[in-house]
Structure 1
Amino acid sequence: MAGERILVIDDSEEIRTVLRETILEPRGYLVATAPDGQKGLAYALREKPDLILTDVNMPRMTGLQVLEKLREAQYEWPVILMTFHGSEDIAVQAFRLGVRDYIRKPFEVQEVLTCVERTLIESRLRREREDLLRKLETTNRQLNRKVAELTTLYAIGQAVTALLDLDTLLNRIVEASVYLCQADEGSLYLIDRESGELYMTATQSAGEKHAHGVNLKVSDNLLGQVVRSKKPAIVTSRTHDPELKIKTGYVVHSLVEVPLRVKDRIIGILSVANRHMRRDFTREDMTRLCALANYAAIAIENARLYDATRKVIAAEVLHNVAVTISHYINNPLMAVMMSVDRLVQVNRDGETANWDDLLAATALFTEMKVEEISSVISILRDVASPTFVTYMDDIRMIDIENRVQERLHQIKEKYKG
């Protein structure tokens, strides 16, 4: 394979020229030359060529001395020694110093090419192995980063979907978006279900540690485009004016906006922006934000359903309380009214023989019924107290009818005698 860099170290200009211009460069090799061992060593350590061809006997530094210095420097690329016939014992010494092969002078063109190609195979394999190792290390780093990102995103998603208070949930979603994308600021917009208009409901500005709730109607072309297309949008200094002024009135350097989708319905938009930090968002940032938006949309719908369920439960509880209380108040009132009617009827008919006893019994009966009504009202007042009971989460429900019946039984026992 042509293109490898070869260094020729020889004090003979004729040999350097023949090797470079006649043998190696015509085959596509990139050739550098050095007239002595010292210059050749300096070049080799600086440029690290794929192969070195060095003579043995040279001024200033011999070929063996070059090999010794290369070995001390832990130089790993192959070396071919060029020696005259009869100096094989020097070649043996050179092999001990790490030389890969040797060529006897005078040499044939094909002999040089065969030796060079054979030796460069090792160099190529070494380079390919190192390239593979570098790629493997890069892939491992990318994989570890992705695993860390997914772990973080999963943890954030779990935390977000566990929240049922809508206001708290919206703030946590914005904080998570700023953290995941390393953004200056973030915002969350929800579409009003009645008017269809877009409102900013939570935001975290640059320098703020936490997001806070807002209720701001917005009108922005890019937000509207995301809602209509149901697709995320990314704006960078390369895709738009480096300083994008959006219609909400401030200038940003880079921006990502992704839809909050529930099935085919868009319920809002999650947005991050870099206004002070001059860093463009990437496609990876947009992917992370889209993943968070999926969690967020589910969590928002859950929180809304939870809130609606609480209201339904509260309405049912109030209805049941009203029915129960009206029953236990109306019955005593009807009994009292019937007792009074009887007294009126007796008095009208002139049946006064047992008037005092009847009057006393009616008074006692009325007193008992009034106490029953009073006890029912007392129980109702306790239930209505905000410190007495809650109806969701750490619920302590009470059975009002049982409480009333217990109290009425106590009153009846009291008046038995």
Structure 2
Amino acid sequence: MAEQPERILIVENDPAIADLIARQALRPQGYETKIVTQAADAIQQAATYIPDVVIANLFLPGLSGKDLMVALTAQSIDIPVIMIAPEGKELDVIRAFRLGASDYVTMPMREAEVVSAVERALKQVRARRERQRLADQLARSNKQLEKRVNELTTIFAVGKAVTSITDQQDLSSKIVDGAISITGADIGWLLTKDERSDAYLLRAQKGLPPSLAGNLNKPWDDGISSLVALSGEALTIHGVALERFKIAVLGRAALVTPVKVGKEIVALMVVMRKAEQEFTTSDQAMLDAVSDYASISMVNARLFRALDERAASLQATVDKAQEGERVKDEIIQRLSGELNKPLEAARLQLQNVLDSDLGEIAADQMERLSIAADKMQHMEQIVDSMVAMYENSQPRQTTKVNLNDLANQAVGRFDNVAQQNQVTLSAEIAQDALYALADRQQINAVFDALLSNAIKFSPHADKVTVSVQRGRNGHNQVSVHDNGVGIGKKHQNHIFEPMYQISESKVEGLGMGLALVKNIVNAHGGEVWVDSKLEAGSTFHFTLPTA
């Protein structure tokens, strides 16, 4: 079927202008046009002709174009109106826009101007119609899906109840509620088979009159459930056929479905409607789904108690482990406090002796005092490392940091140490600044640990290089390279573990620096690894997400 042309209503009392708009401009473009000369006629045609766009002279005799706008708005007629106005009437055009006009053309006008204005207006109309079409389609779809969504929501709720409620009575009530909701029933009950007597007991109900609701957990015979228990097949019945059964006094339609564990019927689910509205195959399918959950609940009920007992036992174990962790952390904190203060005091006293003028001190005595001061400082570092290792390494104060600057600052901090070990320390920094969102203090600790290790394990007259470059996958990469003794393959997977030390290493250490490095880098969302060969040096790398 050919698509109906879009309609344009022209309100113009000047035949020449009306002819220009209708015959010369719009009809060649495929539009259907209609001309009226008065605003009153236009108001009537807007309701009967139902145009897509109205083109009206702003200064019509009698009712003006502005009066037309007011009338259309009053009648809730939503049609784009294009105003025709002579040049110099901009103030009147502005007033028309305030009344709801969508566009305007000035006289004298050209055909192209008219077509362009109409196209702009129709673009709005088409968009509005498309939105309305989509809204109507969505409403129809929503209406079709509403019942299905309710069914699935109910199934989900019943399933959740099966996995979370351990009290069988409460769970049975939830299942009956779900059965009524999912089938649109008014009354429902669940019968469970007594293993000793084979009789069916009323386990849960909703909507039964008080005289029958009092039979909870007692044998129940409604005259129809027994048929399903014998056949093992669901039964739907309504109207006259239901009248010969005792439960006909409760409603005019019933649906009964068996609850099975394997092939054995262990319960019966019954729902009823007071109105004579037959249950559909969809209702039966949904009730079967609820019945499946009822079956699962009966199988699981006995397991929940055992699970609760097991969970309580496991929780007690976890509590003991957490308490042990707390005690360990407290001991470490106290130990660090007890050790740090006397160590720092002793080191400062030794440093004062070294720095003061106490007369001549033999060279060997001076050397021994210096060694003692260095050892005490090393002990302080060990204690600090122990605390850092066991404290939470999550970033505490993250800011946007320049990795280039941090690398240069780290090289500066270790310059004297490198000189003392006759090691040349250098930095290879990317030309562009590379940033990361990180805890500055913790990343400084990473630089310090890696540089300290590199210098410690480098032979004299060697070189240690720190490089910063843009990595892959939105990360920046920092590398610390040395030409030291290297690390054997068997050790490379373990050196980041706390307290791990290479047994054949000639350099002593506590074995916690690299573990701390890994904890900090991982907490920042980065990675750390090593490339190394024996007698060929090592390169430690770590990455941080780009800020």
Give the structure-1-normalised TM-score.
0.47
Which structure exhibits the higher relative contact order, with contacts defined as CA atoms closer than 8 Å and separated by 6 or more residues? 1
* Larger Rg computed on CA atoms: 1
> Which of the pair is proportionally richer in helix?
1
The two structures have a TM-score, normalised by structure 2, of 0.38
